[in-house]
Amino acid sequence: MVMNAAVLRRFSLVARAASMASIGLCIGLWLRAKTVDQEERGNAERRALFVGLWPPTLWLIGDTAADTARRGAER
């Protein structure tokens, strides 16, 4: 199935926006981890680190979609 270049460009923007939003979510979770008691802090910090892995993945998905749209438009 071949996707329309405009759809891929739009998806690329959404993926990049999600990448930036996940950075904010990671920072928010990390700050929240500082407010919980010591017993729950480990889980809260691990959750923040897990969300911190999302931005590069989402950004690369957006880059791939943009490159695919650009190659499709060149044909």
Model's pTM, two decimal places?
0.82
Domain that holds residue 11: 5-74
Helix (H) or strand (E) holding 56: helix 54-74
Task: Decide: residue 8, CB within 10 A, 0-12 exposed, 13-18 middle, 19+ buried.
Answer: buried
Domain count, the chain: 1
Helices (H), 34-53: 38-52
pLDDT for position 72: 79
Q: What is the pLDDT along the chain (75 residues), one digit of tens a residue?
A: 467 888 999 999 999 999 999 999 999 999 999 898 888 898 999 999 999 999 999 999 999 999 999 987 777
